[in-house]
Structure 1
C-alpha cells in the first residue's frame, strides 16, 4: 500500500532495485503461513457457503498461502500461472474484504484482456452468490452507456481492462473515493500489451494507502519497478515452475504423427481409459 502518487512521483521513499536482475533469486517471504483448509481462514459464513457451492473442497497451493495476507490488508506479489487457482485466490480475498452494505466501488481489478476481465467478474459473482455482491466488467468494445448506467448505480467490485477503466474514472462515472484494494492480474501480460502508462494513470486516482495485489507469471524489471512504487513491504509468494503441476489432476500427451490419426487416437483413449472429466488439446 504505497502512498499516493502525484504527477507520476511516489511520495514514499523509492525502493532501490539492483541494476542487474539477471542473477537475483526471488523467494517466498519467510512469514507466509500455509493454511490447509478454507474453514481455517475464518471467512464469513456466506462466502464460505459460496466457495463450497462452487465446488471447491481444499485450497490450492497459492490459495493456502495468499488468501490470508490479502485479507489482512498486506500488499502481495504472487507468481501464478493459469490453472493454479489464482483468480479464486484474489476473488476470495476481495469478497472477505468488501462491505456489501456500502454501494460504492471498493475493489478494482485490472487485467490484460476483455475475456479475462469478464471471467474474473463471473468468478467473483459465483463465489459471492450468497453475499448479494455487485461486480461489473468494464471493458472496451461494449456499450459505453451500459457501463455508465451500471457504474452510476454502484458496484462493489469493478473488473476491467486499463483503458476502459481509466476512461470511466476520467469521466467520473467510476468513483474511486471508496476503493481500498487494487488487483493487477497477469501484470506481465498487461505490460507486454503496452498498458503501463494506463496502469499508472489509474493508480494516480486511487486513495492513498490503497492495498495492492499483483499476480504475474514472470517478474521482469518493469514489474519490480512498478511494485517498488505501488507497494509497501509486500508479501512475496513465488511458486517454482516445477511446483505448478495441479494437485489431483493427471496430465499426459500422445504424440500423433499425422493430423488424420488424431480422432481415432482420441477414440482409442476413451475406449481404454475411464474418463469423467477432461480438457483435450487436439
Structure 2
C-alpha cells in the first residue's frame, strides 16, 4: 500500500486500538486515520469465523467505498471480507449480500446500517469493534440520534474508536456516552 513509516497519529493510535482500548484519534485530513482503524480491525479479526466482527460508520456514500477499498487492500492476503452498506443502494441486494457474504467487516452510512440492524440482516452479536469515522462530519450532518440508536444495539463490551479531523464540543459529548477507557 506504499507505507514506509507510520504518521505521527498512526504511531500513537495503532497500538492502543490493536490492544482493544477505546480510542479517540484527532488529526488533520490526509494523515492516515483510515489506516489506523483498518489495521486495528484486521489485526483483531478471526478470519475463520464468518460473522461480522467490526462495524465502521462513515458520513457519506462517497467515503464508504473508499474506506472499504483501504480495508480490502490491507487485508487482501488475509481473505478479509468487507461489505459497504450504502443508503441509496438497492435494499434487497444489500440484504442478500449481507446474508450470502457474512462479511467480517461492515462499512456503512448510519441510515443504511441502522436499517440493516433493524431488519436483522446485520447481526450485532459478534461485533467487537465500533468505529466512527469522521465523527465531526457525521454530527454536523445530523446523524447523532441514529448513531446512538446503532450503539444501543451493540454489545456493552464493544471497543469504540472515534476519528475526527477536529474535536468540537458536540464530538466530545458523544465520546462521553460511548467510551469507557
Does the pair score TM above 0.5? yes
Is 2:89 the counterpart of 1:148?
no
In structure 2, distance between residues paired with 1:70 and 1:196: 23
Give TM-score, length-normalised by structure 2.
Answer: 0.97
**Counterpart secondary structure, 1:130:** helix
Is 2:142 the counterpart of 1:194?
yes
Task: Name the structure 1 match of 2:28.
Answer: 81
Is 2:13 the counterpart of 1:61?
no
**Counterpart secondary structure, 2:149:** helix
Runs of 4+ in structure 1 displaced over 4 angstroms? none
Task: Name the structure 1 match of 2:39.
Answer: 92
**C-alpha deviation, 1:150, in angstroms:** 1.5
Task: Name the structure 2 match of 1:228.
Answer: 176
**C-alpha deviation, 1:81, in angstroms:** 2.5
In structure 1, distance between residues paired with 2:153 and 2:54: 13
CA RMSD of aligned residues (A): 0.8
**Counterpart secondary structure, 2:39:** helix
Q: Deviations over 1:102-125 (max 9, x none)?
A: 111100000110111110000000
Task: Name the structure 2 match of 1:125.
Answer: 72
Task: Name the structure 1 match of 2:132.
Answer: 184
**C-alpha deviation, 1:82, in angstroms:** 1.8
Task: Name the structure 2 match of 1:159.
Answer: 107
Task: Name the structure 1 match of 2:83.
Answer: 136
**Counterpart secondary structure, 2:13:** helix
Q: Where in structure 1 are there 5+ consecutive unaligned residues? A: 1-53, 234-282
In structure 1, distance between residues paired with 2:160 and 2:143: 17
Give TM-score, length-normalised by structure 1.
Answer: 0.63
Q: Deviations over 1:118-164 (max 9, x none)?
A: 10000000000000000000011111122111211201000000000
In structure 2, distance between residues paired with 1:182 and 1:133: 17
More helix by share: 2
Task: Name the structure 1 match of 2:117.
Answer: 169
Q: Highest Rg: 1 or 2?
A: 1
**C-alpha deviation, 1:80, in angstroms:** 2.2
